[in-house]
Amino acid sequence: MTLQITKASEGLSSRAIDASPSITRELANAAMGTEGLIPLWFGEPNEPTPQFICDAAASSLSAGETFYAEGLGRPYLRQALSEYMSNLYGKEIGSNRIAVTVSGGNALNLAFQCLLNQGDTIATLTPAFPNLLAIPRLQGANLITHQLEIKNGRWHLDVDAFLDACKPAKAVLINSPSNPTGFMLEREKMDHILKTLRERGTWIISDEVYSRVVFDRKVAPSFLDVAEPEDRLIVVNSFSKSWAMTGWRLGWLTLPASLTPLVEKIAEFSVACAPPFSQRAGVIALKEGEEFISQTAEKYRQARDIIQSRLADHPNVICPTPDSAFYAFFKVQGVEDSIEFARKLIKDAKVGLAPGDAFLMHEPGWFRLCFAQTPEQLNEAIDRLLPHL
């Protein structure tokens, strides 16, 4: 008798199968090994993680901190995060409202896992970091998307139109400062959104992982500025961008205290806890990393200004000024297929850009460029791009 073996590729989760693959990752993989390529497609700082942060992790490893830790994070890190957030926002944010996570991505997953039932609706803004759309979809949510506009050379949200569009949503996901646009929501608009959604009982998940990558202030406006502790608000944060720690996989959630036990319970079923040596690194980053944050923010501002003077002024380019984060999201007029054009740029200009399609920008010709680069690299990349625009 021959044994029938069902193929491993059959009967898999259709949600997983149907999830769109990362367009940028596919392009980058295909370009791997292209000599002299300047890759501006991924979103990470060009600086190494500061040495004092690496040293803290090394000491922790040497001291044997290589075992499971508490599900919500080591008490000393939750306490340090409570102090950091309380100082930053000028109000008491207790450690009982903090859950340490294994990255901002994990924090987002946990936030959605806390809220979503099958078929619930989430509303969000586009253009968007693709994971913000993929994560709720993978968890069975329906999505409403609302596109930012361009007004007076900057990205702009028509708040009332968005509040109208998101009426059926159980939760609204807002990413400010935004990847890929650098759009930043001002405090008054946050206040208006929060008050309206509070009346409706709608949750807000606020992705604030770029909150310290700002050019004209210490920290971006936060929903925490305008919310009460038990408002239906979950704020997602990460060590990745502010302290150049993308590989450390460390983030945190700020929640209503009543939600913390649920996060503790469900985190156990996936990652269980954040690595203790990363947590030692995190606490030093919080306590000694302010100078690094302000120095890198100044470098990003200078890089943004290079983009403004050399790329945004090009007659064939539309490039709204990014007010935050380290991305320029711009349109090259006349380009009909952004993915093809990005391929052409890899070959002919040796510059890697992320096509706008990756960020749910359906109008052709849009690209994201990460300007967390040295001025030399950035100028060289622009020199190479200009003849193709």
Ligand X SMILES: Cc1ncc(COP(=O)(O)O)c(C=O)c1O
Binding flag, residue 207, ligand X (CB under 6 A)? yes
Work out which of 73, 127, 251, 355 binds ligand X, going by CB under 6 A.
Answer: 251
Q: Which is nearer to ligand X, 196 or 242 (CB)?
A: 242
Q: Which is nearer to ligand X, 317 or 353 (CB)?
A: 353
CA distance 312 to 358: 21
Work out which of 24, 175, 196, 279 binds ligand X, going by CB under 6 A.
Answer: 175
Q: Which is nearer to ligand X, 227 or 253 (CB)?
A: 253
Q: Which is nearer to ligand X, 72 or 110 (CB)?
A: 110
Joined together, the tokens standing for residue 52 give 């004092």
Instruction: Specify the pairing of strand 354-355 against strand 366-370.
Output: antiparallel
Q: From the CB of 144, what's the least distance to ligand X, in Å?
A: 18
Q: From the CB of 373, what's the least distance to ligand X, in Å?
A: 16
Q: From the CB of 349, what's the least distance to ligand X, in Å?
A: 24
Binding flag, residue 24, ligand X (CB under 6 A)? no
Work out which of 39, 43, 50, 355 binds ligand X, going by CB under 6 A.
Answer: 43
Phi, psi of 90 (to 5 degrees): 60, 35
What is the secondary structure of 13-70 as a DSSP string? -HHHHHSPPPHHHHHHHHHTT-TT-EE--S---SSPPPHHHHHHHHHHHHTT--S---
Q: From the CB of 124, what's the least distance to ligand X, in Å?
A: 11
Cβ partners under 8 Å of residue 53, min gap 6: 243, 245, 281, 284, 285, 289
Binding flag, residue 179, ligand X (CB under 6 A)? yes
Site string for ligand X, 53-82 (x = CB under 6 A): ------------------------------
Binding flag, residue 329, ligand X (CB under 6 A)? no
Q: From the CB of 24, what's the least distance to ligand X, in Å?
A: 11
CA distance 341 to 355: 8
Joined together, the tokens standing for residue 29 give 């993989």
CA dihedral 358, 296, 371, 237 (to 10 degrees): 10
CA distance 84 to 211: 13
Q: Which helix (H) or strand (E) holds 191?
A: helix 187-200
Q: From the CB of 216, what's the least distance to ligand X, in Å?
A: 20
Binding flag, residue 209, ligand X (CB under 6 A)? yes
Joined together, the tokens standing for residue 249 give 């996989």
Binding flag, residue 240, ligand X (CB under 6 A)? yes
Work out which of 246, 254, 279, 373 binds ligand X, going by CB under 6 A.
Answer: 246
Q: From the CB of 324, what's the least distance to ligand X, in Å?
A: 11
Q: 86 to 145, contacts with ligand X by CB under 6 A?
A: 103-105, 129
Provide the CB-side half-sphere exposure for 47 (13 A, CA).
19
Tell me 214's DSSP state. Answer: B
Residue numbers at the binding site for ligand X (CB under 6 A): 43, 103-105, 129, 175, 179, 207, 209, 238, 240, 246, 251
